[in-house]
Amino acid sequence: MGLAYGWYIDPVDYFDLTPDTLRADYKTDYVLMIAEAYRVEQDPGLAARRLAVFGTRSPSSIASEGLAYARANGFAESDIVLIQELVTALQAWSGIP
Amino acid sequence: MRRIWGILLALLMGVGLGLVYAWMISPLRVVDSEPSLLRADFKEQYRSAIAAAYAANGNLPRAKARLALLGDPDPVAALNAQAQQMLASGDTFHQADQVVALALALGENGVAASTSTIVVESNTRVATDASGKATETLPPPPPDVPIVLTETPEIIEMEPTQPVVVAESTPRPTRTPIPTFGAPFKLTGQETVCDPNLPDGLLQVIVYNTNRRQLAGIEIVVTWDGGEEQFFTGFKPELGNGYADFIMSPNVTYILQLARGSDVATGLITPTCQGTNGEPYIGGIKLTFQQP
């Protein structure tokens, strides 16, 4: 009963969370923001730094995950193209300035 | 009777131990959270990303919808404060400038002090316990959970808007031109300040937007014969987000304008003031700029 109450009825309230806990659509929207900025800035290093908020995974895998979500959930074609460009740039980016 | 008490005691201990385990030892790990629950520094990075995207696509409705997700009571003030912080902490001016540009655009659109309440149908969910072991999970969120953004009645400086905006969780863009920084600032006030408590030759500048809201991160350029210096509003927030100052040397004539485009204040020279005992001292000048 204590476990049920503590886990389901009144679980611990969380705040001060990290971006890796964000729901998939918010994560994808974040990736899209970075892709929109990348289209103009053309700076894969800056885009990678911005994606680093999601933790230790590689920027290209984070962006790829966003791309997969965007494709699966009916994002506008123009958005998908932007994310695709970002994925391609990050895959080609070595991280060495 | 004793047996009943024993059972009750055992039951209470069981519940207590269960709560200790569920709340402290192995609390459920959060997944599928929303941006408003992010730690303050991550919210700042989220805001920077919104500003960078806005600088790239000029899509203000999309930027507004994204900012609303952060749940800031006053998005413009949050952006201004962040711009100040970025400048103070040595971030690139370019990035701080993107944040300021978004704050300006929102200010011009009268979003200044709106309070947005975000109702997300599917809230935080749990999937694994603290050790990462899979536990019973709630069903995954629907692929495109609608987010209902409702503007509260306390909105001020708002253009007439619909009381309830229903937005997709990923608003679709409409391409619009790269944002401009609005009309040039007007020099709306220039006064001599005679206050012996202030430093000699203090040149004070206050910058407002259209809605008389002070603007941080505005670059000011002051030039004189043989010299030039740039400084920014917002480094002394205790005096106002849009405040900046500069010490003028006596007998030097200065010209001042905002880097973003403004009227030019010319012929700025330290004034001579009279103290209460008749002693002259060097006064200052206060300039006020506002977007028309």
| B238-292 per-position pLDDT tens digit | 788 889 999 999 989 999 999 888 888 988 999 999 888 888 899 999 999 998 8
Of A6, A17, A29, the CB nearest to B23: A6
Residues B205 and B78 in one domain: no
State the average pLDDT over residues A5-15.
69
Same domain, B199 and B161: no
Q: Does B199 touch chain A (CB under 8 A)?
A: no
Rounded mean pLDDT of A3-29? 80
Q: Which residues of B touch A7 (CB under 8 A)?
A: 22, 28, 126, 135
Question: From the candidates B26, B29, B37, B41, which should be mutated to test the interface with A, based on the most A CB atoms within 10 A?
Answer: B37
Question: Is B18 within the bounds of a domain?
Answer: no
Please calculate the CA angle B5-B8-B11 and round it to the nearest 5 degrees.
Answer: 150
Q: What is the pLDDT of residues B167-184, one digit of tens each?
A: 445 555 544 444 445 568
Which is nearest to B272 in space by CA: B251, B287, B254? B251
Would you say residue B49 lies in a domain?
Answer: yes
**Alpha-carbon distance B33 to nearest alpha carbon in chain A (angstroms):** 5
Cβ separation A33–B20 shorter than 8 A = no
Same domain, B190 and B283: yes
DSSP structure class, residue A73 = T
Tokens 């997969």, located at residue: A68
Whether B32 sits inside 8 A of A75 (CB atoms) is no
- Tokens linked to B96: 């701080």
Residues 79-118 of B with CB under 8 A from A: none
Chain B: nearest CA to A63, how far in angstroms? 14
- Give the total number of structural domains in chain B: 2
Facing residue for B15 by CB, picked from A1, A50, A74: A1
Q: What is the pLDDT of residues B19-67, one digit of tens each?
A: 887 777 776 666 778 899 899 889 999 999 999 999 999 999 999 999 9
Put simply, the answer to whether A23 touches B173 (Cβ < 8 Å) is no
Q: What mean pLDDT do residues B198-213 have?
A: 89
Q: Is A42 on the interface with B (CB under 8 A)?
A: no
Q: Rounded to the nearest 5 degrees, what angle is found at the Cα of A46, between the Cα atoms of A45 and A47?
A: 90
Q: In this predicted model, what pLDDT tens digit does every residue of B59-117 receive, in sequence order?
A: 999 999 999 999 999 999 899 889 888 877 766 777 888 998 999 888 876 654 443 33
CATH number, domain with residue B284: 2.60.40.10
Q: Which domain holds residue A49?
A: 24-92
Residue B86 structural domain: 28-167
**Considering the domain boundaries, does residue A1 fall inside one?**
no
